[in-house]
Amino acid sequence: MAAAAAAALAAADPPPAMPQAAGAGRPTARRDFYWLRSFLAGGIAGCCAKTTVAPLDRVKVLLQAHNRHYKHFGVFSALRAVPQKEGFLGLYKGNGAMMIRIFPYGAIQFMAFEHYKTLITTKLGISGHVHRLMAGSMAGMTAVICTYPLDMVRVRLAFQVKGEHTYTGIIHAFKTIYAQEGGFFGFYRGLMPTILGMAPYAGVSFFTFGTLKSVGLSHAPTLLGRPSSDNPNVLVLKTHVNLLCGGVAGAIAQTISYPFDVTRRRMQLGTVLPEFEKCLTMRDTMKYVYGHHGIRKGLYRGLSLNYIRCIPSQAVAFTTYELMKQVFHLN
């Protein structure tokens, strides 16, 4: 999930409206191609966020699954070792599949959140913090399920080390996994820990960002907010405040869901790992990781790197999405 992202999400109730002079009219809201514009806004936000932290994503995969070439390295030593062993572009291995995946992932996630938020409010009558939490979780799970095969391929490519390639590219990876690992279902290996991790991750991420934004604009609109460029009657957070709120939301969400992320990565790698047969289910995988590596060096291995990558990733995603909402007139 990301998850994210990213994933990365932006969420809030409709921002507070600025006072409007009596008699002042407003143009009719632009609804033409709303879903397409929302899709593009979310996709661009996701791509910008993942491109920013692509090298950190590669190193995280290597550390989480204890790649034999880097298992004795820490976060910063691994960041130095990868370019030395595989060249600078080694930091971006698997990024092609990531970009193919992240645009629909980010777009579906952002678009689904807006849809679920409206649905929960109108159909179930739930509003406030709870509906943001519910809509965020549902949006995250929807995006994960729709794009999971691409994430599977991306992780397999990112885990490869120069000179020991099992897959020659994205298409070859798809064909090989389909032929050797159970057909279509082979692409959904590790989906359960992904869903279980994405629900709290996306939900807490949406909830935290939305709450911080709502509270900030309610209590300090002049200090923290500014008029939206596409609708002066709507307040949005200033850019640096957006970055801060997005970073806080990402850090809290990642801490809660990280063990599921480690489990998912090991299950996704499947036959690539020598301990494959001991990690067939989520329970077996968690038991193996905990038994052999413990909590800090097992279930939470790479968490410090995840903070480093997650905070700028979430911050860029939130900020870009808020900007794209103005560019595409979504406010």
Q: Which domains does the chain have, with CATH numbers?
A: 1-8+36-328 (1.50.40.10)
Sign of the torsion formed by the C-alpha atoms of 62, 66, 68 and 69: positive
| CA dist., res. 67 & res. 29, Å (int) | 52
Q: Average pLDDT, whole number, for the chain? A: 80
Q: What is the pLDDT of residues 228-284, one digit of tens each?
A: 877 778 788 887 888 788 888 878 888 888 898 889 888 888 778 878 778 788 889
Spatial separation of the C-alpha atoms in residues 276 and 269, rounded to whole Å: 8
Task: Give the pLDDT confidence score for residue 174 in this predicted structure.
Answer: 92
Among candidate residues 72, 54, 70, the one with its CA nearest the CA of residue 62:
70
Is the pLDDT at 24 greater than 80? The verdict is no
100 neighbors 149 (Cβ within 8 angstroms): no
Q: Which of 50, 57, 39, 5 is nearest to 249 (CA)?
A: 5
Q: Determine the pLDDT at residue 46.
A: 80
Which has the closest alpha carbon to 2: 36, 53, 74?
53
pLDDT value at residue 163: 78
- 3-state SS record for the chain: CCCCCCCCCCCCCCCCECCCCCCCCCCCCCCCCHHHHHHHHHHHHHHHHHHHCHHHHHHHHHHHCCCCCCCCCCHHHHHHHHHHHHCHHHHHCCHHHHHHHHHHHHHHHHHHHHHHHHHHHHHHCCCCHHHHHHHHHHHHHHHHHHHHHHHHHHHHHHHCCCCCCCCCCHHHHHHHHHHHCCHHHHHHCCHHHHHHHHHHHHHHHHHHHHHHHHHHHHHCHHHHEEECCCCCCEEEECHHHHHHHHHHHHHHHHHHHHHHHHHHHHHHHHHHCCCHHHCCCHHHHHHHHHHHHCHHHHHCCCHHHHHHHHHHHHHHHHHHHHHHHHHCCCC
Give the residue-averaged pLDDT of 303-311: 79
pLDDT per position as a tens digit, 180-201:
888 888 899 888 888 887 777 7
- Residue 218 pLDDT > 80, yes or no? yes
Residue 20: band (very low, low, confident or very high) from pLDDT cuts 50, 70, 90? very low
| 280/189 Cα distance (integer angstroms) | 9
Backbone angles phi, psi at 273, to 5 degrees: -90, 145
Query: Distance between CA atoms of 98 and 91, rounded to whole angstroms?
Result: 13
